[in-house]
Amino acid sequence: MKLINHSNVIKKMKPRLMKNVIMRGLFFSATLFGLVILGILFYRVLTQGIGYLDFQFLTSLPSRKPENAGVYTALIGTVWLMAVVAPVSLLIGVGTAIYLEEYASKNKFTNFIQINISNLAGVPSIVFGLLGLTLFVRAMSLGTSVLAAGLTMSLLVLPIIIVAAQEAIRSVPSELREASLGMGATKWQTIVRVVMPAAIPGILTGGILALSRAIGETAPLVVLGLPLFLAFLPRTVFDMFTVLPMQIYNWTGRPQEEFQSLAAAGIIVLLVLLILMNSIAVLIRNKFQKRY
Amino acid sequence: MMKQEVNRNTPSVQELIAEKKQKNNLSKMLEKIMPKVLLITAILSILTTLGILFTLLIETFTFFERVNMKEFLTSKSWYPFSEPGTFGIMPLVSGTLKVTIIAGIVAVPIGLASAIFLSEYASDRTRRIIKPILEVLAGIPTIVYGLFALTFITPLLRSIIPSLEMFNALSPGIVIGIMITPMIASLSEDAMSAVPRSMREGALAMGSTKFEVAIKVVLPAAVSGIVSSIVLALSRAIGETMIVAVAGGSTPNLSFNVTESIQTMTAYIVQVSQGDAGYGTTIYYSIYAVGFTLFLFTFLMNLLAQYISRRFREEY
Expressed as residue numbers, the domain containing B268 is 78-311
Q: Shortest Cα distance from A35 to chain B (angstroms)? A: 7
Amino acid code (one letter) for B132 = P
**Residue of A251, A272, A214, A222 whose CA lies nearest to A88:** A214
Q: Is B151 in the same domain as B41?
A: no
Which residue did the predictor score with more confidence, B43 or B10?
B43
User: What phi and psi, each to the nearest 5 degrees, are found at residue A254?
Assistant: -80, 145
Which residues of A are less than 8 Å from B48 in CB distance? 120, 131, 155, 158
Residue B138 sits in the same domain as residue B32 = no
A168-217 residue pLDDT tens: 999 999 999 999 999 988 899 999 999 998 898 889 988 998 999 999 99
What is the overall mean pLDDT for chain B?
88
How far A60 CA lies from chain B's nearest CA (Å)?
22
Claim to verify: residue B152 and residue B300 sit in the same structural domain: yes
**Nearest-neighbour CA in chain A from B112: distance (Å):** 9
Same domain, B44 and B132: no
B307 contacts chain A (CB < 8 A): no
3-state secondary structure B17-73: HHHHHHHHHHHHHHHHHHHHHHHHHHHHHHHHHHHHHHHHHHHHHHHHHHCCHHHHH
The CATH number of whichever domain residue B307 belongs to comes to 1.10.3720.10
Q: Are residues B127 and B189 in the same domain?
A: yes
Contact call for A41 and B269, based on CB within 8 A: no
Lowest mean pLDDT among A57-61, B33-37, B206-210: A57-61
Distance, in Å, from the CA atom of B68 to the CA atom of B159, rounded to the nearest integer, reads 44
Q: Which of A185-199, B216-230, B270-284 has the lowest mean pLDDT?
A: B270-284
Size of interface A-B (CB pairs under 8 A): 244
Percent of chain B with pLDDT over 90: 54
Across the interface, whether the CB atoms of B238 and A124 are under 8 A apart is answered yes
Helices (H) and strands (E) in chain A, counts: 12, 0
CB A78 within 8 A of CB A277: no
pLDDT digits (tens, 9 = 90+) for A60-107: 777 777 777 788 888 999 999 999 999 999 999 999 999 999 998 888
Please name the residue of chain A whose CA is at the shortest distance from the CA of residue B238: A124
- Domain assignment present for residue B149? The answer is yes
Between helix B124-139 and helix A6-49 the angle, nearest 10°, is 40
Find, among B139, B148, B156, the residue nearest to B172 by Cα: B148
Same domain, B135 and B276: yes
Q: Among positive and negative, which fits the CA dihedral A18, A24, A30, A36?
A: negative
Say whether A27 and B291 touch across the interface (CB within 8 A): no
Query: What are the chain B neighbours of A260 within 8 Å (beta carbons)?
Result: 147, 150-151
Judged against a pLDDT cut of 60, whether residue B136 lies above it is answered with yes
Total tally of structural domains belonging to chain B: 2
* B43 domain residue, yes or no: yes
- Cβ <8 Å between A134 and B59: yes
Question: Is residue B218 located within the same domain as residue B116?
Answer: yes
Lowest mean pLDDT among A14-18, A79-83, B30-34, B274-278: B274-278
On chain B, the residues whose CB falls within 8 A of the CB of A138 are 279
B158 and B194 in a single domain? The answer is yes
pLDDT digits (tens, 9 = 90+) for A128-146: 999 999 999 888 888 888 9
Q: Write down the pLDDT at residue B1.
A: 46
Total-model pTM? 0.89
Tell me the C-alpha distance between B13 and B146, whole Å: 72
Q: Are residues B25 and B142 in the same domain?
A: no
Looking at the fold, whether B182 and B257 belong to one and the same domain comes out as yes
Q: What is the pLDDT of residue A9?
A: 80
